[in-house]
Structure 1
Amino acid sequence: MKKTFLTTLTTFLAIAFAFISCKKDDTPDEPRKNSRSVKYEITGNYTGKLNIVTNSNIGTMDSYNDISVPWTKELTYPNNVIFVGIGGNSSTAGVAGQTVTLKVYSGGNLIYTKIVTTDANGLIGLPTYAFTFQ
């Protein structure tokens, strides 16, 4: 009796798994994009120099030292990057009252704009901005 029950249970489970198991899709999924493109753009009338840092959640960190305005950098990130960030500050003073505009583009779309004015010493600090990919 016990042997018959185990045989019946095993047969039932085998049939059940055969009908509810995952099947292979007939059509492949839409191919995923292999990378994500971000463009950083800094413009304005700032005559000093800037140090800029970009980073991502996988530890990618790039430093750009003593850059002049205008400045543009396009970076392409792999799919495992979930978020990226940018920030910066003066490496050389400009003149009090000058401005810098930071724009961040993703996929060709403007996603962030920040205008910052120098302090009385002609120094500037770009606030850190982080962006999460959708």
Structure 2
Amino acid sequence: MKNIILLCIALSCVLLSCKKEENNSNNSSRTLTYEISGNFTGTFFAAYTTATGGTTNEQITSLPWRKEITYTSNVTSAAIALVGNGGVAGQKVTLTVKRGNQLVGTPIDVTANSSGAFSETAPVVVF
């Protein structure tokens, strides 16, 4: 039940996020690569935009984790959110997002709170 609640919070963050990532005119790639590393030992999920514009949830069972997605031309933006629980306070994960071969923004470091949980959303990438 706690996983479902945390996942709903993460999805809400993804859907309500308004921050627009600056578009580098030299990088028009429609391929995003999400990479997660760290030492978090609890259960966690990534909720992200699929290649056709839908949303999916994937349980991450081991680190490092990598997902590369090439988006169809009708998809106008993409996002990812991470939710975890059952870890140890202070454990960390780092999320990087690349568009083509270029880093989008800076890596996002997330630290589990005193309950061993976290929830974090990356800025939306607009195509």
Q: Which TM-score applies when normalising by structure 1? A: 0.65
Q: Aligned partners of 2:86, 2:62: CA distance in 1, in Å?
A: 11
Task: Report the equivalent of 2:39.
Answer: 45
Deviation at 1:126, TM superposition (A): 1.9
**Residues 74-99 of structure 1, C-alpha deviations (whole Å, 9 max, x = no match):** 01111221110000201x41111011
Where 2:30 maps in the other structure, the secondary structure is strand
Task: Report the equivalent of 1:80.
Answer: 74
Deviation beyond 3 Å, 4+ runs, structure 1 = none
Larger Rg computed on CA atoms: 1
Output aligned runs, 1:1-134, within 5 Å. Answer: 36-55=30-49, 59-90=53-84, 92-112=85-105, 113-133=107-127
Give unpaired runs (5+ residues) of structure 2. 1-27
Q: Which amino acid aligns with 2:92?
A: T
Count of residue pairs brought into register by the alignment: 99
Q: Which TM-score applies when normalising by structure 2? A: 0.69
Deviation at 1:129, TM superposition (A): 2.8
Asked whether the 8 Å contact 2:37–2:64 carries over to 1, the reply is yes
Bigger strand fraction: 1
Q: Which amino acid aligns with 2:31?
A: S
Amino-acid identity (%)? 36
Asked whether the 8 Å contact 2:53–2:75 carries over to 1, the reply is no
Task: Report the equivalent of 2:15.
Answer: none
Q: Aligned partners of 2:104, 2:35: CA distance in 1, in Å?
A: 12
If asked which structure has higher relative contact order (CA below 8 Å, sep 6+), I would say: 2
Q: Aligned partners of 1:66, 1:103: CA distance in 2, in Å?
A: 15
